[in-house]
Every structure is written in C-alpha cells, then in structure tokens.
Amino acid sequence: MAKQSDSWGSRTGLILAMAGNAVGLGNFLRFPVQAVQNGGGSFIIPYLVCFILMGIPLLFTEWSIGRFGGKKGNHSTPYILDSMSKRNWWKYIGVFGIFTNIAVVAYYTYIESWTFIYVIHTVIGTFTQMTQAEVSEFFVQYVNLNGSDFGIPFLPVLVYILVLGINIYILSTGLGGIEKVAKIGMPLLILFGAVLAFKGWTMGTENASAAFPDANAWDGINFLWTPQYGSLLDPKVWLAAAGQIFFTLSVGMGSIQCYASYLKENEDIALNSLTSGFTNELVEIVLGSAIVIPIAAGFLGLDWIIENAGFGMAFQTMPYLFVQWGELFGMIAGICWFGLLFFAGITSSLAMGTPWMGFMQDEFGWGKVKGAVSFGILALIMGLPTILFYQYGYFDEYDYWAGTVSLVVFALLEMVLFTWVFGMDRGWAELNRGADIRIPIGYKWVMKYITPVLLLLVLLSALITPESNDWTAAFTSLMNGEGWALDPSSLISKLTHDDLKLLQLNDPQNRDMYDSKILFSTLARIQMLVLFLFIAALVWYSGIKRKSISHE
C-alpha cells in the first residue's frame, strides 16, 4: 500500500471543501424539482424531519467513520468499513462508496456542462431575442443532440468532455487543488445566489404577462412553505425527502468518509460536520428555494411550474426570464445563475473523485494523476450514454438508482455498522474525541435506534408502496387473500418496468417510445451493475494483495 502524504492545509479550507462537497446542483436544481414533484409543502415536513433525524446523525457517523479509518491508513470506504469490523465482507458494502460517486458524477458532469455552455450563450446574447417557447426548445434540441450550436456536431459531447477534463485536472493536484477551488468557488457561489435570491424574494406580480396574467412570485414561495400534513403518510414523499437529504449533504456516498480520512486523529469532527451540514441547508433553504420556483412563478405562474418540473426546467425558463429584466441586468443575472451552478457542480463533483483516487492510491500505489485520469475514463464510459440517450431516460435511471436508492441503502448499512457492529459507545467516543462542542446525549439514542429504523422504514415502504398509497386497502386486500397491489411509484414496480408499461398501456399511440425507454432503462441498469461488480472485483483482488503482503 502507498503511503499517504496528502492532508488539508487549514480548517477553513476543510470546512469550505466539505461544504462545497455538499452544496451543489442538488441545492439549486434538484431541491426545487423534488419539492414541486412531491407537493411543495407536502415535501418540506418530511425533508426537515429527515435532516434532523437522518441527515445530522449520518454526518456524525460518516465523519467519525472516515477519521477512524484514516488513522489506520485507509482512505476509501471499502477498507474504512473493513477496519471497523472483524468480518471482512464489510469491505464489499464499502463498494457503494466508490460506485455511487462514479455513477452520479457520470450524469452530474453532464449538468455541469449545461451550465458551462449556457454561460457562453448568455454572454454572447443567444437568448436575447428568443421567446419563452424558443428558449425551452433550445434546451430540448441541445439534449436531444439536434441543435447546431456554433455549427459543431455533437457539441454536448465535446462540452461534456471539456468539463470532465477540468475536473480531472483539479483532482490531479490533490487535496490542495480542491481546497483552493473551494476557497474561491464557495464565496462566489453564495454571492451569486444572494443576488438572485434577493430578486426572487422581492418579486410580486409586476412581471406577469398577457399570456400568464395570474403569475405571482409569492405563489411559488407559498406553495413551497405552506405545510401539507397528508404527506406524512406517503412513502414516496419520504423516499424523495430522504434521497434529497442524502444527495444534498452527500451522505451515503463515500466522499465524506474519504475527506475525513485525511484528518488528524484528534482533530474536531463534531463541530466541523455540523458547520458543513448547516451551511449546506442554509444555502438550500434560503437560496435554493428562492430562485427557480418564485422567479419562474412570477413570470409563468405556479401551474406552469407544476406541469413542467424537471432537471431541465431551470434551463428552459431562466434565460428567457432574465432577459425580461433588461439586457444588461439580464446578462448579469444569467452569468450569476449559470456561474453559480457551475461552481456548485464543480465543488461537488471534485469530491466524488476522491474515494476512487484514495482506493487506487492505497491499494495499487497509483499517483494523483493516474488516479484522476482513470476516474475520468470511468466517468466518461458511464456518462456518454446519458448524453446520447438522454431522451430515452438513461439520465433518469442513473439519478433514481444511483442518486437516490443507492444512497439510502448504503446509509442504512453504514449506520448499522457504526452503531451496532462497531458499537455505539465506541462510536460516541470516536465522535466526541477532540470535539469543540458537546453534542446532546440524546443524539446517541437517535443514532442507535431512530435513524436506522427510519431508514429501514423509508426503504421498505418505498419498496412495496401499495396502489394509490392506500395502506389500509392494501392490508385489507392481503388479509382477504386478494394480494397486494403495488403502486407504479414503488421500487418493485420500477424495477420490473411496470410504471412504464402502465404509461404505455394508457398511451398506445406512443408504444414504440415506451419500448425504447424500457430497453434503454434496462441497459442503464446493466451498465451500473457491471460498474459495481468491476469495483467489487478490484476490492477482492486488493484483499488478496493485502494478505500476500502481510504474509511476507
């Protein structure tokens, strides 16, 4: 195994890098979409509960696991987890901590490339004379590879490779390069976000047009922050809320453990984890909620947002909306918005490369450049299909299985390891060693019992969500021997493509389109499975290497 010499230059750099890892596209793109798709105020209560009872405990757990593994010379989740138990199969659970990062960065970098090209188009004034429909169609043509931007064929692929190359270069410089980017990117991100959020919060009805006379920015804000208590019984909303918390905090991925593994043995993790976590939530709740939804509602109305919610919504609407504020301020707003997204994306995707690089350096002696380039090659292999087959749902499959389900599964397993296998008493001592604050003792109980149970309930209820989310009717039907009818949103229905088959049944005119989506959905899952097995094989081989070295 190679000796590690990388370390964080300062506590400020560490916190900003950790915050940059958490603060990303999920705060500004994914959070609004998840909120809209899950009922606005219906989403917020489960979201906040998940943050308090799952997000914070998982931050404590992952920082503790990472620092503990780092002191034993491990800097990636397979062997960080392995160091916490006498059973060596835990290292295969740690495969999730590398797999998820590669699978997510594959499509995450594609979104970064959107932000990059949109900054260029904003500066040269591409959107200035476009209608809202034309701006929306511009995005559709871009992701469907039908556009002819600058007369360059397959431009989205080229821009994707360019942005991936930027990530690879910064990763090749090690923690020092990541720290420098975080110190520049995080302040700029917050500055850009504050400018746009102020505009979003101060809008009213003055931007309503003849086409959308009822548009009101405050409708968007009220939609998001008016509680809807019925969601507390909806497993789909809980899974979405938990997935968003994990995605936005970057827990259940392996990157936090990797970052924390470079800390000194008695360096604080309690205050650091809370600082990075609450910084992320501040950005997401205060800034992330105040930009896309209220600004779009102020121009287009809330009904349009609900109907068109998706990852591409901000690209289909914001350029047109910014132009309505005047040519100069519209350009400034566009640069702020897409620049914000670019910096947010870069600071997060850099963190996704460190688990693979740490693993390859620890186990195979690979240097930073070789580790970064190999990570880029894997991301490119995984990511190209998300570009070429975007319209067939390849992108969405990655986001659902790698960006949501995988996070919940890994989070549950690592919580069980930390609190029950490693032991809560030992874990609590590890968390509090060198701490600058005193964590309430109640969280020891929450981490041991509440968090694992909630994670298990979220996962199981999402797995077998009954038709129309009617649990009473489902149990009655089961007791009467009539079976358990699954909802199309359940994990089992998605796994068997029953959700797409139902849409196909209700829309026979587009049968071929759904056949294509089912085909490419299957291919995406096969590709993710092959990636997981490939990493597991590397872990197996590294285990053999370790045994041979120990016997010499």
Cα separation, 352 vs 287, in Å, equals: 23
Domain range list for the chain: 15-43+101-239+267-403
- What residues contact 152, with CB distance under 8 A and at least 6 apart? 158
- Two structure tokens written together for 175: 């923690």
Over 290-332, what HEC string results? HCHHHHHHHHHCHHHHHHHCCCCHHHHHHHHHHHCCCHHHHHH
Please report the pLDDT score of residue 8 as a whole number. Answer: 52
CB contact burial 66-89 (16+ within 10 A = b; e otherwise): bbbbbeeebbbbbbbbbbbeeeee
Please report the pLDDT score of residue 2 as a whole number. Answer: 42
Cα separation, 47 vs 49, in Å, equals: 6
CB contact burial 396-408 (16+ within 10 A = b; e otherwise): bbbbbbbbbbbbb
In this prediction the pTM is 0.89
3-state secondary structure of 438: coil
Sign, CA torsion 244/248/252/253: positive
- Two structure tokens written together for 348: 């997060």
Return the bridge partners of 486, or none: 466
Residues 72, 265: contact at Cβ < 8 Å?
Answer: no
Please report the pLDDT score of residue 412 as a whole number. Answer: 94
Please report the pLDDT score of residue 20 as a whole number. Answer: 60
> In angstroms, what is the C-alpha Rg of the chain?
23
Cα separation, 40 vs 297, in Å, equals: 13
Cα separation, 24 vs 200, in Å, equals: 19
Q: What are phi and psi of 466, to 5 degrees?
A: -75, 165
CA 511 to chain centre: 32
Cα separation, 12 vs 19, in Å, equals: 10
Cα separation, 425 vs 237, in Å, equals: 33
Cα separation, 107 vs 319, in Å, equals: 22
- What residues contact 100, with CB distance under 8 A and at least 6 apart? 252, 253, 254, 402, 406, 407, 410
N residues, the chain: 552
Nearest by Cα to 181 from 196, 167, 160, 163: 167
- Two structure tokens written together for 346: 């870069």
Cβ neighbours of 476 (radius 10 Å): 11
Q: Kindly list the distances between the CA atom of residue 79 and the CA atoms of 53, 65, 114, 148, in Å, as whole numbers in the listed order.
A: 27, 11, 36, 47
Cα separation, 230 vs 41, in Å, equals: 10
- DSSP states of 233-262 as a string? G-HHHHHHHHHHHHHHHTTTSSHHHHHHTT
Please report the pLDDT score of residue 3 as a whole number. Answer: 46
Query: pLDDT digit of tens for each residue in the chain (552 aa)?
Result: 444 455 555 566 566 666 665 677 888 888 888 888 888 888 888 899 999 999 999 999 999 999 999 999 999 999 999 999 989 899 999 999 999 999 999 999 999 999 999 999 999 999 998 988 899 899 989 998 876 677 677 899 999 999 999 999 999 988 776 777 777 777 887 888 888 888 888 887 877 777 778 888 888 888 888 877 777 777 778 878 887 888 788 888 998 999 899 888 888 999 889 988 888 888 888 888 888 888 888 888 888 888 887 777 889 888 988 888 888 888 998 998 898 888 888 888 888 999 999 999 999 999 999 999 999 999 999 999 999 999 999 999 998 999 888 988 999 999 999 999 999 999 999 999 999 888 999 999 999 999 999 899 888 988 998 998 788 899 999 999 999 999 998 999 999 999 999 988 889 888 999 999 999 999 999 999 999 999 999 999 999 999 888 766
Over 281-293, what HEC string results? HHHHHHHHHHCHH
Residues 242, 455: contact at Cβ < 8 Å?
Answer: yes
- Two structure tokens written together for 384: 């190209």
Which residue has 């195979």 as its token pair?
364
Residue 66's H or E segment, with its range, is: helix 56-71
Which residue stretches of 23-154 are H helix? 25, 31-37, 41-50, 56-71, 77-82, 90-93, 96-124, 132-143
Which residue stretches of 125-174 are H helix? 132-143, 155-172
Cα separation, 271 vs 286, in Å, equals: 22
Residues 44, 240: contact at Cβ < 8 Å?
Answer: no
Q: Kindly list the distances between the CA atom of residue 24 and the CA atoms of 30, 99, 288, 350, in Å, as whole numbers in the listed order.
A: 9, 19, 10, 11
Q: Kindly list the distances between the CA atom of residue 326 and the CA atoms of 192, 481, 518, in Å, as whole numbers in the listed order.
A: 18, 65, 44
CB neighbour class for 138 (10 Å; exposed up to 12, middle 13-18, buried from 19): buried
- Two structure tokens written together for 413: 């397993």
